[in-house]
Structure 1
Amino acid sequence: MVLGNFPNQFFWGVATAGHQSEGDNRNSDTWFLENVTPTVFAEPSGPACDGYERWSEDLDLVAGMGLSAYRFSVEWARIEPAEGEFDEEALAHYEAIVDGCIARGLAPLITFSHFTQPHWFAKRSAWMDDEAPALFARFCGVVMDRFGDRIAAAVTFNEPNLPQMLAWAGLPDFVADLTRATLDAASAAAGVAKYRSGNVMVAEDFDAMQVGMTAAHTAAKAAIKQRRPELPVGLSIAISDDCAAEGGEATRDAKRADVYDHWLRLARTDDFIGVQNYERLWFGPDGQLAPAAGAVLNEMGSAVDPASLGGAARYAHDVSGVPVLVTEHGASTGDDSVRAAFIEPSLAGLLEAIEDGVPVLGYCHWTLMDNFEWVFGYGHQLGLYSVDRTTFERTAKPSAGVYGAIVAAQRSAVSAGV
C-alpha cells in the first residue's frame, strides 16, 4: 500500500495514561476500588509499568520512533492527594515530562482526567457532587499555572461516555452485579454513603454523572482558556464506527443518540473532538450483528477492521463540526502481526476522510507499551512495546517499527516539500 501525504502540521503521536503505566497510584479512586472485596477488577494495578520512575526512558522510546507528539495524563490523585493540598513533587514530576517532551521534539498533549480521580473526590460521590466542576477546574488551573504555557493541547476528559458504550456491549448480568458490589464494598470501606468513580459506574448514576462531567468540562475549559486563550482544548470520547445493514438504521441511530451525541454536541464550542476508536460494529433489524465468519477478532471479540477509524472520524466531525484529534486508536491483541498489518490501512482510511474535507489534527496510537487495562488487568495487550512484568524492560514489537517507518516517510515528505 502506498500511503498518501497527510497535512504538514499533523501530530504523529502515541498515547499513554498515568494510572495504567505509572504504578502505585495509591491515592486514587481506582487503586481503592482494585483493592476492595469483592472487586470488578481482575487484578490490582500494583507497580504497573514503573512508568513514574522510567518516564525519561519512555520518552526516548517515543522519540526513537520518530514521532512528533506524546499524549499523557497528569494524575489528579498525585497532584492533589488531599483536598486543597497540592504536592510540589508531583507538579515538578509532570513539569519535567513536559520539558522532556519539548527537548525531544515532542508536542505535549495533556489529559487532565483519564478515568482516575483522587480517593477524597470519590468519597464525595465524584462527578455527582455539586462542587465537582469547581474542584476539577481548580486542579486544572493549578496545572496550567505550573506548565500550561508549554503544552500543545488540552484534553479535559477521557471517554466520559464509556459507561453508556459498555451498556450497549451486551455484557452478562454478573458484570453489572459485580460493579454494584464493588461500589458498595468501597462505600462501606470508605465510610461514606456513595463512593463513586468515573469509570466504574452503575446505570442509575449515568445521567447524574453525565451532568456533572459536562459542567466540569465547561468549567475546566474556562480555567484553561483564562490562562491560555489560544490553547486548543477539547475532550475525547469512545466511538465505534457504527454501521447499519438493511433494516438496522433505527438501532444504530438509537445507539448514537445514547452514547455519542450529547458529547459531540457539547464539543461544538470546543477546539477539537478527541476520537478514540477500536472497532466497527454492524447493526441489523434485531440488533448488533455477529462478526463475519472468518474475521480476525480482537480480545474484546469484535472484528479488527481498518475501515473503522475513517468512519468514526467522519461521524464525529459531521455532528460536532469541529476538527478531529485521534487521541486513541489501536487493536487489543496478543498477535502483534495483526497490529502491524492494521496500522497503515487504518491511516489510509483516515487520510481519505481528510481528503474528503474532515479536518484532522493528528493521530495517537494506543498505546506505547502493554499496560494495566483497567478491569481486564494485564491480560489485554495493545502496546507497541512489550513490558517484562518483573524487570519492566521494554521491548519493541514489529508494530513499533511499522508505525515508525510510516511516520518517517510522512515527515520526510514534509521536509522535502512533497
Structure 2
Amino acid sequence: MNDTDFPADFLWGVATAGHQNEGDNVDSDTWFLENVTPTVFREPSGKAANGWELWESDLDLVAGMGLNAYRFSVEWARIEPREGEFSDEALAHYEAVVDGCHARGLAPIVTFNHFTSPHWFAARGAWLDPEAANLFARYCGVVMDRFGDRIALAVTFNEPDLPEMLTWAGLPDFVADLERQTLEAAGAAAGVERYRAGNVMLREDFAGMRAGMTAAHRAGRAAIKARRPDLRVGLSLAMCDDVAVSGGEEVRDRKRAEVYDYWLELARDDDFVGVQNYERLVYGPHGLQPAPEGAVLNGMGTAVDPESLGGAVAYAHQISGVPVLVSEHGVSTPDDTIRAGFIEPSLAGLKAVMDAGVPVIGYCHWTLMDNFEWIFGYGPRLGLHSVDHDTFERTAKPSAGVYAGLVRAARGI
C-alpha cells in the first residue's frame, strides 16, 4: 500500500474496550455476573490488562505504530456507579484519555456502551426497564458535557445484534442453561426478581432487549447531537461475511434478516455504521458448510479468510446506505504469523470495495493487546501485543510491526 491507496483523512486505529482492558470495573453488571455461583464466565476479569493505570503508555503504543485514531469505551458503571451519582474522578480520567489522544495526534473514537452497564441498571432489568432509554441518554449527556467537544466519532452501542448472531453459532445447550443460571444467581444475590445484562441474554428477552436498546440508541444519539450537532454518531454491529453456494441463498438471507438487517435499517438515520468482522461463513441448502480441508482455522473453528472484511462492509452499506467504519476486525489465534499475514490482504479487499463505491471512513484493528474476552476469559488471543498478567508488561508481536508498516505506507509517513 502507498499514500495514494486510501483517502488522506482515513482513520487508522486500534480498538479496545473498557471492561476488557481497564480492570477492577467493580460497579458493573459484568463484574457482578463473573463473581456469582454458578457463572457462565470462565474466570473473573480482575485487573484485566490494568489499562486504567497504564493508559498513557498504551496511548504511546498506539501513536508509536503511526496510527491516527484510537477507539475505546467509557464505562457507564464507573461514571455513574450509583443511580444519579456521577463520578468526577471517572469523568476526569476519560477526559484525560481524550486529551491524551489529541496530544499524540489520535482521533478519539468513543463507545458509550461496550456491553457493560452499571450493576444498579442491571438490577432494574437493564434494557427491559421502561426508563432505560432516558437513563442512557442522561449518561450520554453527562459525558458529552464533560469532553464531547473533543470526540471524533461517537458509537452508542457495541454489537447489539450479538445475541441473535450467537443463536446461529451452534453453541451447545448447556451454554444457554448456564446463562440462565448465572442471571438467576445474580438476581438472588442482588435481591431482585429480574437481573439482566447486555452480554448475557435469555432468548425470551431478545425482543424486549432489542426494543430497549433501539430506544436507547435513538435517545442517546439525540442527547449527543443536542450538544454537538456536527458530531458523527453511529452504532457498531457484529457482522460475518455470509456467502451462499449451491442453493444456500435462503439460509443466508434468513440469517441476514434475523441478525443484521433490523440494525442496518435503524442505522439509516445515523451518520455511519460500524462493522465488526472476524469470519466468513459459507451456507449451502442445508446450512453452514464445513471449512475446506487443510484451511487455516481461527479460534472459532472457521477458515481464516481475508476476503471476509470487504464482503461484510459491502453488505452493511448496501442495506444501511450510510458510510462504514470498520470498528473492529481481527483474528482469534495464538499463532501470530497467521495474524501478521492476514492484515494486508484484508485491507486490500477493503480497498477493493471502496474502489467499487462503498464509503469507508476508517479501520480499527481488534485489538491493541490480548485482553479479557468475556465468557472465554483470558484464553483467546486477538492482540497486536501480548500482556504479562503478573507485571502487565506489553510486548509487541510481529503483527504489530506489520500493521504499523502498512499504515505508515498508506499515510505516506
- Give the alignment's TM-score, normalised by structure 2: 0.99
- Does the CA contact (< 8 Å) of 2:2 and 2:410 recur in 1? no
Superposed displacement of residue 246, structure 1: 1.0
- Does the CA contact (< 8 Å) of 1:55 and 1:97 recur in 2? yes
C-alpha offsets along residues 186-205 of structure 1, whole Å, 9 cap, x if unaligned? Answer: 11111111100001001000
- Does the CA contact (< 8 Å) of 1:242 and 1:280 recur in 2? yes
Aligned to 2:70: 70
Superposed displacement of residue 8, structure 1: 1.3
Amino acid at match of 2:85: E
- Does the CA contact (< 8 Å) of 2:2 and 2:409 recur in 1? no
- Does the CA contact (< 8 Å) of 2:2 and 2:411 recur in 1? no
Aligned to 1:230: 230
**What is the rounded CA distance, in whole Å, between the counterparts of 1:160 and 1:3 in structure 2?**
35
**What is the rounded CA distance, in whole Å, between the counterparts of 2:178 and 2:295 in structure 1?**
31
Aligned to 2:268: 268
Return 5+ residue gaps in structure 2 as ranges: none
Aligned to 1:22: 22
Q: Does 1:339 align with 2:373?
A: no
- Does the CA contact (< 8 Å) of 2:3 and 2:409 recur in 1? no
Q: Does 1:103 align with 2:74?
A: no
**What is the rounded CA distance, in whole Å, between the counterparts of 2:187 and 2:92 in structure 1?**
33
Return 5+ residue gaps in structure 1 as ranges: none
SS in 1 for 2:409: helix
Aligned to 1:55: 55
**What is the rounded CA distance, in whole Å, between the counterparts of 2:156 and 2:88 in structure 1?**
22
C-alpha offsets along residues 303-361 of structure 1, whole Å, 9 cap, x if unaligned? Answer: 11000000000000000000000000000000000000000000000000000000000
Matched residues, number: 413
Superposed displacement of residue 147, structure 1: 0.2
- Does the CA contact (< 8 Å) of 1:3 and 1:348 recur in 2? no
C-alpha offsets along residues 263-282 of structure 1, whole Å, 9 cap, x if unaligned? Answer: 00000010000000000000
Superposed displacement of residue 7, structure 1: 1.2
Superposed displacement of residue 4, structure 1: 6.2
Superposed displacement of residue 258, structure 1: 0.3
- Does the CA contact (< 8 Å) of 2:306 and 2:343 recur in 1? yes
**What is the rounded CA distance, in whole Å, between the counterparts of 1:10 and 1:110 in structure 2?**
17
Residue range with higher mean Cα deviation, 4-13 or 359-368:
4-13
Moved over 4 A (4+): 1-4
SS in 1 for 2:52: coil
- Counting only pairs closer than 5 Å after superposition, residues 16-415 of structure 1 correspond to structure 2 as 16-412=16-412
SS in 1 for 2:334: coil
SS in 2 for 1:52: helix
- Does the CA contact (< 8 Å) of 2:323 and 2:359 recur in 1? yes
**What is the rounded CA distance, in whole Å, between the counterparts of 1:302 and 1:194 in structure 2?**
36
**What is the rounded CA distance, in whole Å, between the counterparts of 2:301 and 2:132 in structure 1?**
36
Superposed displacement of residue 104, structure 1: 0.2
Superposed displacement of residue 2, structure 1: 8.0
Amino acid at match of 1:197: A
**What is the rounded CA distance, in whole Å, between the counterparts of 1:251 and 1:73 in structure 2?**
34
SS in 2 for 1:177: helix
SS in 2 for 1:343: helix
**What is the rounded CA distance, in whole Å, between the counterparts of 2:284 and 2:5 in structure 1?**
36
**What is the rounded CA distance, in whole Å, between the counterparts of 1:168 and 1:204 in structure 2?**
16
Q: Aligned-residue CA RMSD in angstroms? A: 0.9
**What is the rounded CA distance, in whole Å, between the counterparts of 2:162 and 2:391 in structure 1?**
33
Amino acid at match of 1:165: M
